[in-house]
Structure 1
Amino acid sequence: RAVSLPVPPGLLKAGRNLVRIEARQTHRVFCGADASFSLWTDIALDQSGVRLGSQSFDTNPLGFLAAVAAQAARGQALRVHGTGSADRAATVAPVIAQVEVAFGGTPPRVSFEDYYSVGTTPPALARVAELPPGTSPPDGYEFRSGGDGAIVMAVDPTAYERLAEVLAEAVPQNGTEQGLPDLPPGRYVTFGELGFDGLQGHGRYIREGAEFRLPWDWLLLASQRAELALNYRFDTGLPEGALLLVKVNGTTVQLLPLDDPETAGQTLPMLPIRFRASLLQPGVNRVDFEALVPGDPPDQACEPRANPVFEVLDSTQIFVPDSPLMSRPGLGRTLAHLRQEGLSISESAKQTLPAGLLLQLAAVFRGHQGTERAPSGLDPQLTLATPADLGLIEGPLADRYSADLLHALTRVSAPAVATAPVAAWDRVNEGNWLSALLRLDRIAALPDRLREGVTSMWRGDEPDLPEWLADRSAQALLFQPDMSRPDRVWLVVGPRAMPETIVESLAATHRHIDGPMGQVSVLTGEGIWDSWVSPDQPLQLHEPLTLANARAVAGNYATTRPQDYVLVLITITLCSAFVAMLIAILMRRRRP
């Protein structure tokens, strides 16, 4: 159904406004975490929003940005009227990027039209008109009201960069979205310092988290430990079996009971939770607090609960050990330093892909370019391509696996096989060695798992690329064809790809942990990047080797290429045994 809610006068402000919709839902019967997975509310975002009159947008830079954002929410493209050529993506991108920066989300779709094109239905809210030479206003641009009521940005094609600065200044600073906080390694940092006021959980199945960034030259792969000093409390009267799982990048590092009546309702002493630093990664990381609260009794309705189930205080601290300045090639590192001028498009992509796709990508990477410069020697380049270009790409990965990559792009997804739902409680003991011993199916698979363990010790956990691609179907794929040149990346768009999904997923990589990583990453039908990491990734040290960093450097190399260290140890053992045998033979007592 549709619901109209009045907005109090004065609540809306100039610039960006955020609307938060929060659903608190309760089953009438069968209360608990498992029941929560079968209860949801759908919000039709493309039919929802704030209703304003067409005259609500002023004919100025802020009004133009608001009109473009509203038009994008309606699913309409921003039309650029000029020569009709799409080769001007580099010049138009600064203006399109400002829409994303000012209002969040993804850059609007763009269509290039000539001067005399047919109007749209419904009428456009905003559009761009490039002025012919000699007709430009004194400043190179001006905002006008079109005959259909649209806000028209009339601009000299040479004035886009200057106009982008004007648009950036038009948005109030308090209305812009803040990026993820940077976590400095080597010291304890509170959640408050990272900008989190604390986390509260309501409901029966709860997942709340905090995201932060680590430097791209931070790398620890061995046995070093990080620590989360947790300061939390939980509500009274929670049923027996209520649990809180603490996760780092999806891996559970601590399981805490929430049903102890003696400690309920009070702030507990700070709890140190140590975990492997190798669970963290350069770039975006996330710490999750996942609560499972059963029904009491499970076949009755949930009782309303005003207080939060748990609360993580802003005094919670996180410590990440310092590391030597090291890196390994990967899509995440290259895309993080990619700039608009590093984008290009192949000839076949020009003929088959939407004209505005390259412009949207340019706006994505321009809109998120920060103050961090690319490391020395790294000149990120991304080429937009189609499957027809796979045979032309140079590099070991492309030479050996182009057929497998092409198969993944053209494979039709198999229909999902219906399986019995896994209860939330069955996932709590995942990885528990005692529960594994009690399952006969896992005991029968022990020889195969032992063989896999020996193989992974020799070459790492990742399978070969053909094996990894065998059951995957990709809308698009990102890959580094040559790890010796990690700054060269190709985005190959498949025949069934949805350009909007590609742009949205790449825009989200600046804020979430699920972005492209490793050497090959496929975009699934659900719009999620699934990544393959080569077991042969080379490491690069960006500082002199000293006694202070030698242990961490050696640990990273031993973890990445264990086979080299196994061969060294075997060689040393054989040499020692040979020397011992030689000494025993030479020094043995001779009989008279």
Structure 2
Amino acid sequence: MRKLSSFIAIAFFSIASGSEAAPSLLPSPTKPDLINNNSGTPGVQSNPTGLIPFLESSFESRLQGERDVRYLSFFLTSEQAQAGGSLRLTYTNAVSVRPEDATLRVSFNGHAGQQFPIRSPQGPGIMDVKAETTALKPGWNTVTLAAQQHHRVDCSIDATYELWTQIDVSNSGFQPAASRAQDPAAALMSVGRNAGGRTQVRVLTAGDVKAGARNSLDAIQTIALLLGRKDLSVEFTTATKDEPGIDLIVGDVNSSWQSEEGKRLLATAPAGVSIRPSGAGRLQMIIRGAGEQAINAALLQALNGPLKLVLDSRRLPAEMGVLNADQPGTYRLSDLAYRAEPFAGRLFRTSFQTVMPADFYPGDYGAMTLKLNAATAPKLAPGAQLVVRVNEKAVTSHGLIDPNGTILKDKTLDIPLRAFRPGINTVDILAELPKEEDKVCDPAARDESKPRFLLLEDTSISVPALARAGRVPDLAAFAGRAYPFSRTETLDLVVSAPSSVQLGAAATLLSRLAVSAGQPLAANLVSDQEARSAIPDRNRLIIATAQGQSLVKSARLAAPSLDGLTTASVFGHGSTVAEPSDPRALLDAFQARTSQDRDEPGISENLIIGFQRAINVVGRWLQYREAESDPAPIRNSEVLATLSQVQSETGNSVVTTVSAATDAELSKAIDYLTDPAAWSKLNGGSATVLRSTGEVISTSAAAYSFYPLADKSFANLRRLAAAWLSDHIALYAFAVVMLVSLIGLWLGYIVPRKGVRTVE
């Protein structure tokens, strides 16, 4: 019999037209507990009762620069949309923002909006915006926030980077005028965030915690996908908490993994799924069923019943201003939620996200084509230019200097495919627009009626056919598309010890991957010992601590050095330049200390060294990497945890491992890794989480292996060959030289014999 969890995954793609839910699925009416949690922003009520939070995380709710636009989303049932309500925005802005003319324009679903001043640099400020019922709709609603802000005293372009307004997502959202407390969809979508900006799911377990985790994984992933949030955090605990989040109780009164409080709640709950609001930003989700099959059946019935509105309303990428590059095509900026408006500032910026396929192979075999339709004002100062950045790296530019201004009509700029990576990429279009008058800085005399730049909505970007070949390791594909775990095959979710902390870390990471994949992942939760007898060719996601290092080694992974061993004599006393665990750093230090004993290099050796340096420079240039962009060696004492990915010994699967020294450090590292700001920047072959700052440092892979090709067409093979040669520039140069030499030899042979002779 086919596992019911697979039908849950199918429901997220082709939504079944199931019948109405049975009465047992609906929660019994309960009076919400109106308790205010003031652990959030000082002076602001944390998670006001009934507030529906935004989908977007804190990272996605920051407005920067002189003008910026953010699109925030919230979910309404039909009743809530018809009743209307108000939008609450809790925010803080930079001290450098000039309060006299800083404004925030708020609009709902494209309707005309209202404008408010931005004046809260010393602490949180609150804006309450009334929403007319005509501007609201059932399902997902979009709030457009357009900020205009200027610097108090500095008129330089660099000063624009000091301007920001941050929305506090823990205390912002939509306050509906009316809502039925027993409406499951309304209750689920009103779950609040904690003071740290995370959405917590607390799974009640005791005793056989691993069994409880195994039976809860599908429910946890379903919650993550329904909410759509990228900041979910999972913990296994014995009791509910008086904090924002979801208390998840799974099983029945006889379940071996259930806690005493869980059994008490299950005893009063009907069979199936019950959703009960339990306070401001809190709810209890009870899935009562005897065994995994009954639990998943109840979950599937809920998706086709009281939660069907949420499932049906899941947003498409195009609606959220995201360019999906799976297929070739041309997209206008208007398709990506951009709206043209004259700009009178010094640094114009607009951004959009491009999602590349998980098996995308970056290389110099093609480019995306940006066709600019724009206009500039006269008398821009030298240095005016338009710059295109991909993932915060400049890839192309165009000068905008013209004494009389200029009109760009279908001006073509190529954005090399080398600059992109699998998964989510951020493309920024910036225009630096200095004028001579900026040198005499008088913010009060700024004339906003004279714009400097206009970027039209019919500016387009064309996506070419892409080379497709899945690589390992590739953390960008892992984070952006959950690759290779987004396949239909079951993956082994391995924990080195089935403690509640490790299981919580594993569930947090799995739920984040499910959001990236857009579907629940079929995960088989196993321990270290069980993994040794598991199917060898399965993809594995390993969560390990120092006690589980044997598992890491068996998977051909280099475990992080956690013993603090140092060899200070190589580096000199007190040196922190390199770390003994870094082989390359050891070799460089050794060569530096012994260089005085070597003979002077000869001419041939100098030529080889110079050629290698030139190849390295060209390689960095092709990959948009500066010499100083490589991460500095990291001391063992600074390593909190590592994330790495390798091919298995059989070569038929992939092993991805997160490892730390202790359970406490592992839990902290998972929170750092899954933070939306860090998750979006994962790339390369491995990543290190720093102990002191929580920063995640990605490291490029030394070499790649490839999955079997899904597309074996000649066109794809040609693109792959071109991409591979661009990765191996030395071989490419050698092949060109050899080809030219062979042509020369052939001409030298053939011309004397076949050439035309002069008639005497």
Cα 1:367–1:552, aligned 2, differ >3 Å: closer, same or farther?
Answer: closer
Aligned pair partner of 2:247 in 114, 127, 142: 127
What residue in structure 1 maps to residue 441 of structure 2? 300
Which segment drifts farther, 243-252 or 446-455?
Answer: 446-455
* Separation of aligned partners in 2, 1:272 and 1:572: 33
| C-alpha contact 1:537 1:560 (8 A) present in aligned 2 | no
Cα 1:5–1:556, aligned 2, differ >3 Å: closer, same or farther?
Answer: closer
2:333 pairs with 1:191: yes
* Separation of aligned partners in 1, 2:715 and 2:316: 40
| C-alpha contact 1:83 1:113 (8 A) present in aligned 2 | yes
Query: For 1:358, what is the secondary structure of its paired residue?
Result: helix
> Would you say how many aligned residue pairs link Structure 1 and Structure 2?
533
Query: For 2:402, what is the secondary structure of its paired residue?
Result: coil
Cα 1:222–1:78, aligned 2, differ >3 Å: closer, same or farther?
Answer: closer
What residue in structure 2 maps to residue 277 of structure 1? 417
What residue in structure 1 maps to residue 465 of structure 2? 322
Write the mapping of 1:454-493 to structure 2, written as runs, cut at 5 A: 454=615, 470-471=633-634, 473-482=638-647, 484-485=651-652, 487-493=654-660
Aligned pair partner of 1:207 in 345, 349, 366: 349
* Separation of aligned partners in 2, 1:397 and 1:563: 30
2:273 pairs with 1:152: no
* Separation of aligned partners in 1, 2:735 and 2:608: 27
* Separation of aligned partners in 2, 1:197 and 1:234: 17
Query: For 1:333, what is the secondary structure of its paired residue?
Result: helix
Post-superposition offset of 1:151: 4.3
Which segment drifts farther, 451-460 or 103-112?
Answer: 451-460
Aligned pair partner of 1:59 in 182, 201, 215: 182
Post-superposition offset of 1:577: 12
2:726 pairs with 1:559: yes
Query: For 2:154, what is the secondary structure of its paired residue?
Result: coil
Aligned pair partner of 1:383 in 538, 542, 564: 542
| C-alpha contact 2:188 2:275 (8 A) present in aligned 1 | no
Post-superposition offset of 1:212: 1.6
| C-alpha contact 2:726 2:732 (8 A) present in aligned 1 | no
| C-alpha contact 1:382 1:490 (8 A) present in aligned 2 | yes
* Separation of aligned partners in 2, 1:198 and 1:102: 33
Query: For 2:458, what is the secondary structure of its paired residue?
Result: coil
What residue in structure 2 maps to residue 344 of structure 1? 493
* Separation of aligned partners in 2, 1:9 and 1:193: 25
Query: For 2:409, what is the secondary structure of its paired residue?
Result: coil
Write the mapping of 1:121-270 to structure 2, written as runs, cut at 5 A: 122=242, 127-130=247-250, 131-132=252-253, 135=267, 139-144=271-276, 151-157=283-289, 158-160=294-296, 161-162=299-300, 165=303, 166=305, 168-171=307-310, 173=312, 176=315, 178=317, 180-193=322-335, 196-197=338-339, 203-219=345-361, 221-234=363-376, 241-258=383-400, 260=402, 262-263=404-405, 268-270=408-410
Query: For 1:31, what is the secondary structure of its paired residue?
Result: coil
Which segment drifts farther, 302-311 or 212-221?
Answer: 302-311
* Separation of aligned partners in 2, 1:22 and 1:500: 35
Cα 1:455–1:128, aligned 2, differ >3 Å: closer, same or farther?
Answer: closer
Cα 1:308–1:71, aligned 2, differ >3 Å: closer, same or farther?
Answer: farther
* Separation of aligned partners in 1, 2:654 and 2:372: 39
Which segment drifts farther, 144-153 or 221-230?
Answer: 144-153
Post-superposition offset of 1:40: 4.4
What residue in structure 1 maps to residue 670 of structure 2? 502
**Higher relative contact order (CA closer than 8 Å, sequence separation 6+):** 1
Post-superposition offset of 1:5: 3.0
Query: For 2:128, what is the secondary structure of its paired residue?
Result: coil
| C-alpha contact 2:672 2:689 (8 A) present in aligned 1 | no
Query: For 2:192, what is the secondary structure of its paired residue?
Result: helix
Post-superposition offset of 1:272: 1.0
Task: List per-residue Cα deviations over 1:414-453 (Å, max 9, x = no partner).
Answer: 999xxxxxxxxxxxxxxxxxxxxxxxxxxxxx99886522
Cα 1:185–1:139, aligned 2, differ >3 Å: closer, same or farther?
Answer: same
Cα 1:247–1:218, aligned 2, differ >3 Å: closer, same or farther?
Answer: same
* Separation of aligned partners in 2, 1:175 and 1:323: 28
Query: For 1:6, what is the secondary structure of its paired residue?
Result: strand
Cα 1:75–1:277, aligned 2, differ >3 Å: closer, same or farther?
Answer: closer
What's the % identity of the aligned pairs?
A: 19
What residue in structure 2 maps to residue 589 of structure 1? none
| C-alpha contact 2:494 2:540 (8 A) present in aligned 1 | no
Post-superposition offset of 1:490: 0.9
2:698 pairs with 1:531: yes
2:475 pairs with 1:331: yes
Query: For 2:726, what is the secondary structure of its paired residue?
Result: helix
* Separation of aligned partners in 2, 1:13 and 1:544: 42
The AA in structure 2 aligned to 1:8 is K
Cα 1:85–1:170, aligned 2, differ >3 Å: closer, same or farther?
Answer: farther
Cα 1:282–1:229, aligned 2, differ >3 Å: closer, same or farther?
Answer: same
What residue in structure 2 maps to residue 443 of structure 1? none
Task: List per-residue Cα deviations over 1:214-256 (Å, max 9, x = no partner).
Answer: 3334435245444222222345675564332122344434333
Cα 1:494–1:23, aligned 2, differ >3 Å: closer, same or farther?
Answer: farther
* Separation of aligned partners in 2, 1:316 and 1:22: 20
| C-alpha contact 2:235 2:501 (8 A) present in aligned 1 | no
Gaps of 5+ in 2: 1-122, 255-265, 523-535, 566-574, 578-606, 750-760
The AA in structure 2 aligned to 1:386 is T
Which segment drifts farther, 524-533 or 144-153?
Answer: 144-153
| C-alpha contact 2:640 2:669 (8 A) present in aligned 1 | no
Task: List per-residue Cα deviations over 1:113-168 (Å, max 9, x = no partner).
Answer: 44xx4x64x56675344442595866523344669996433331443532662564
Cα 1:558–1:153, aligned 2, differ >3 Å: closer, same or farther?
Answer: closer
| C-alpha contact 1:332 1:518 (8 A) present in aligned 2 | yes
| C-alpha contact 2:365 2:719 (8 A) present in aligned 1 | no
What residue in structure 1 maps to residue 614 of structure 2? 453
Query: For 1:518, what is the secondary structure of its paired residue?
Result: coil
Write the mapping of 1:396-407 to structure 2, written as runs, cut at 5 A: 398=557, 401-402=558-559
Post-superposition offset of 1:62: 1.9
Query: For 1:274, what is the secondary structure of its paired residue?
Result: strand
Give 1 or 2: higher strand fraction.
2
The AA in structure 2 aligned to 1:159 is I
Query: For 1:356, what is the secondary structure of its paired residue?
Result: helix
Cα 1:105–1:263, aligned 2, differ >3 Å: closer, same or farther?
Answer: same
